[in-house]
Structure 1
Amino acid sequence: MGRPMAELTLTDDEREALVRWSRRAKSSQALAQRCRIVLGCADGKTNQQVAAELGIWPQTVGKWRRRFLEHRLEGLADEQRPGAPRKISDERIEEIVVATLERTPKDATHWSRASMAAETGLSKSTVGRVWRAFGLKPHLADTFKLSKDPQFIDKVRDVVGLYLDPPERALVLCVDEKSQIQALDRSAPVLPMMPGMPERRTHDYLRNGVTTLFAALNVASGEVIGSLHRRHRAAEFKKFLAKLDKEVPAGLDVHLICDNYATHKTPAIQKWLAGHPRFHLHFTPTSSSWLNQVERWFALLTDKQLRRGVHKSVHALEKDIRAWIKSWNENPRPFTWTRTADEILERLASYLERIPGAGH
C-alpha cells in the first residue's frame, strides 16, 4: 500500500505540444525529458515504470507529475530562483537563443559574446549568462564522419555480436596497427615540474625514426599481444598472424576484428587464412574505427607513454613500448561494451535526422 497516484490526462493540444517539445532538436534536454515524463504518466504508467524507462529516479517523475497537474504546461519550466528580480524579458532571452542557433554574424562563422552583445544591445556578461543557462557554446565545434559502407548495418551487427555474445571455445581479438610511431627527442633537455610550475619542454623536436606496433586486444581478458616492425606491409601483418597462431592455444578458434586496410586483404593474407581455418576475420565498417576496441587501448598508450615520451632512437622507443605492454598485461583491464547493435543504429538514425540530406 502507498500514497494513491494522481491520475494524469492530457488534452489533444497538450499532447501535441509535449510530443513536439520532446522531439524538437533545439529543445533543451531538461525540457525534453520532462515532456517524456508527462507523456509516460499520461499513458497510465507508474512513477517507477517511467523512471525505469528513462533511467531517472522515481522521485523526479513524481515531482514533474505534480508540477504538471498543478500548472499544466507552464509547470514544466524551471521555478524562479530566489534573488533579485530578472531585468531581461523572456523575449530578449529568446532573441539571443534563436540568433545563436539559427543565424551567424555577417563577418564571422560563429558568434562571440562581443558580437552577440553588439547585435542585441545587451552586455557581454548578460550574453554569457544566457548561453550558460541554455548550454550554448558557439566557440566550440566537434567533428564527425559518417560511414558510406554499403554493408554498414551487417558489419555493425557482426562486430557488436562478437562483443556481447562471443562464440564458445573461441577467442575474440581486436586487431590493428599503430603505424608511424615517431621516436622524438626534444632539442633541449626537459625541465622538470616544480611547485607552482608545470613541466616544460621545447616546442621543436628531433626525429629519430619510426616504428609500427601491431596489437591484438583480448576482448574477454584485456590482455594484449604486440609485435613491433619497422615497416607496415602485408608481410609484417602475416608475421603478426603467425605470432597469434603460436600464442593462442590450438583448441580455440580465433575471431579477429580489424579495419579495411589493404594489407588485411591481400592474396598472401587470404592464402595464409585458407591454411589456418581456425582464424576468422571480421571487418568494421569503413570510417568506423570507434567499433574496434583496440583503438581505445592505442589512445591509452599514446596518453600514458608516447605523447610526452623522449626517445633518442627507435630502439629506445620500442623498448619503452614493450615495457608498457608488459606492465599492462600484469594487470589487464578489459573494456566493457554495453550498447547493442539496435541501440547504435537507432542513435545513428536520430542523429541523421538532424543533418539535412543525410538520409538520401
Structure 2
Amino acid sequence: MKKAAYGHKTPHQARVRSQIVLLATRGRSNARIAVEVRVHVDTVRTWRGRFADGGLPALADRKRSGRPARFTPVQVAEAKALACQLPAETGVSLSRWSCPELAAELSARGVTDTVSASTVRRWLRQDALKPWQYRSRIFIRDPDFRAKAQRVLDLYARTYEGEPLGADEYVVPSDEKTSIQARCRCHPTLAPGRARAVRVNHEYGRGGAVAYLAAYDVHQAKVFGRCEATTGIVAFMTLVEQVMTQEPYASARRVFWIVDNGSSHRGKKAIDRLSKTFPNAVMIHTPVHASWTNQIEIFFSIVQRKVVSPSDFTDLTQVHDRLRAFEDRYNAAAQPFQWRFTTSDLDDLLARLDRHTTADLHQKTSIALAA
C-alpha cells in the first residue's frame, strides 16, 4: 500500500486512492484526509467505502459501457476492404490511397455519413494497413533462375559443380558503376559544427561524368578498379586484363568472373571472348534481374555512401583520385563480406514468390469474373 501511495511511477488516480486508504488506517477523519490529499470529502467517503467492501481490488476503476459505437463493424470492414483495393480499380483518379482520401470516398459512397481521417487511420492500424506506402518489385523471368543463382551462391561458399574450390581458384565478381558526376558546387561545402550537419550548396556546375569499373575478390576482400570515359566491351576487358595479368590470378588454375547480363559481357560471345583471351578465366552470369546476387554491388553501395555522396568535386580528375585513394584505403583494412544467403534461403524465397504469384493470379481472375 505504501508503494502505491508514494511510488514515483504510480498513476495519479491510484496514488490518491491509496493515500486515502492509508491515511484512513492511521485513524484520520474524512475531513482531515480530504485536506491532506487535496480532494473533496465526498471522494474520501467513496473510496473508503469501496475499500471496506472489496479491499484493494475495489480501488480500481469499474467497467464502464463507454460511448456507444458510432460506426458498425460492417462499415469498418468496408473501409478496410476499400483500402486494400487499388484506386484505379475503383474508378478513382489516384495512384494510392491516403486516410483523408479514404474518408472522403467512404462518405461519397454512402458507407458512412462523415468520418475523420484519424478514425480511418485508427481502423487501418488494427490490421497494419498502410495503403499510402508502396514498394517496387520485379518478377522472375529467367527460366534458369534457380540454377544460375545456385551456381553463384555455391561459388561464394567455395564450391563449383559439387566440388570444393582449390587454394589456387578465385571468385571475382565485377560490374560497372556508370555516370559518377563531378558536380562543382557554386559555393564551398561547410564542415559540420555544433548542432549543424554538413552543408552542401544546392547549385552546381557540371564537370562531366565517369564510369567506375571494379572487380572484387570475394574471399580475399581485395578490390581492383579503374575509371573509364564510358562502359563497353573494351573497358570491361581492360579491367579483366588489369586483374588477370597480376599474381595470383595469372597463374591460378581458375578465376571465376561473376557478371550480370549487361551489354559489356552478355551471352556466349562474352564467355568465348574471355576464355580465348585468358584460358583460366571462367565467366559466370547472374540470373536476369538478379544483380543483388553479385557481391560487387555491396562494394558499390559503400562507394556511393563514402565517396560519391554528396557529389562535390572540382573536376573529373578529383573523382579519379578520390576513387583510387579509397581503393587503397579499403584494401588496407577490408574483410570479406559475411554473405549468409544460401541455396536453402533461395528455395524459401522462390517458394514465397510462387505463393504470391498464385495469389495475385487468383485475385485477378476473381476481379475479371466479377466484372
Query: What is the TM-score when the length of structure 1 is the normalising length?
Result: 0.69
How far 1:316 sits from its partner (Å)? 0.5
Deviations 1:90-132 (A, max 9, x none): 4343232211003536242322111222324322222222333
Tell me what 2:76 maps to: 93
- Relative to structure 1, the CA distance from residue 210 to residue 90 in structure 2 (aligned partners, 3 Å threshold; closer, same or farther) is same
Tell me what 1:224 maps to: 223
- Relative to structure 1, the CA distance from residue 195 to residue 126 in structure 2 (aligned partners, 3 Å threshold; closer, same or farther) is farther
Deviations 1:123-153 (A, max 9, x none): 2222222333322222222112224233323
How far 1:163 sits from its partner (Å)? 2.2
Q: Which residue of 128, 134, 138 corresponds with 2:131?
A: 138
Residues 258 and 283, structure 2, Cα contact 8 Å, conserved in 1: yes
Aligned mates of 2:134, 2:353 — CA distance in 1: 19
Q: Which residue of 308, 318, 321 corresponds with 2:320?
A: 318
How far 1:245 sits from its partner (Å)? 0.9
Aligned mates of 1:151, 1:327 — CA distance in 2: 39
Q: Residue 176 of structure 2 aligns to a residue in which SS?
A: strand
Tell me what 2:358 maps to: 353
- 1:282 and 2:284 correspond: yes
Aligned mates of 2:261, 2:64 — CA distance in 1: 59
Matches within 5 A, 1:186-225: 186-225=185-224
Q: Residue 133 of structure 2 aligns to a residue in which SS?
A: coil
Q: Which residue of 84, 95, 115 corresponds with 1:109?
A: 95
- Relative to structure 1, the CA distance from residue 129 to residue 83 in structure 2 (aligned partners, 3 Å threshold; closer, same or farther) is farther
Tell me what 1:168 maps to: 165
Which sections of structure 1, spanning at least 5 residues, go unmatched?
A: 1-81
Which amino acid in 1 is paired with 2:165? E
Matches within 5 A, 1:228-247: 228-247=227-246
Tell me what 2:347 maps to: 342
Aligned mates of 1:292, 1:281 — CA distance in 2: 13
How far 1:272 sits from its partner (Å)? 4.4
Tell me what 1:68 maps to: none
Tell me what 2:33 maps to: none
Say how many residue pairs are matched.
279
Aligned mates of 2:295, 2:66 — CA distance in 1: 52
Aligned mates of 2:363, 2:241 — CA distance in 1: 42
How far 1:85 sits from its partner (Å)? 6.0
Larger-gyration structure (1/2): 2
Residues 178 and 214, structure 1, Cα contact 8 Å, conserved in 2: yes
Tell me what 2:54 maps to: none
- 1:328 and 2:333 correspond: no
Q: Percent identity?
A: 26
Deviations 1:59-85 (A, max 9, x none): xxxxxxxxxxxxxxxxxxxxxxx9996
Tell me what 1:45 maps to: none
Q: Residue 360 of structure 2 aligns to a residue in which SS?
A: coil
- Relative to structure 1, the CA distance from residue 83 to residue 142 in structure 2 (aligned partners, 3 Å threshold; closer, same or farther) is farther
Aligned mates of 1:84, 1:303 — CA distance in 2: 56
Tell me what 2:10 maps to: none
Deviations 1:152-200 (A, max 9, x none): 2321222222223434121111111112211111122223434344333
Q: Residue 247 of structure 1 aligns to a residue in which SS?
A: coil
- Relative to structure 1, the CA distance from residue 230 to residue 160 in structure 2 (aligned partners, 3 Å threshold; closer, same or farther) is same
Query: What is the TM-score when the length of structure 2 is the normalising length?
Result: 0.67
Aligned mates of 2:155, 2:86 — CA distance in 1: 45
Which amino acid in 2 is paired with 1:256? W
Residues 352 and 358, structure 1, Cα contact 8 Å, conserved in 2: no
Residues 178 and 298, structure 1, Cα contact 8 Å, conserved in 2: yes
Which amino acid in 2 is paired with 1:231? T
- Relative to structure 1, the CA distance from residue 275 to residue 83 in structure 2 (aligned partners, 3 Å threshold; closer, same or farther) is farther
Aligned mates of 1:96, 1:358 — CA distance in 2: 19
Q: Residue 355 of structure 1 aligns to a residue in which SS?
A: helix
Tell me what 1:69 maps to: none
Tell me what 2:35 maps to: none
Residues 181 and 311, structure 2, Cα contact 8 Å, conserved in 1: no
Q: Residue 202 of structure 2 aligns to a residue in which SS?
A: coil
Aligned mates of 1:186, 1:284 — CA distance in 2: 38
Tell me what 1:181 maps to: 180
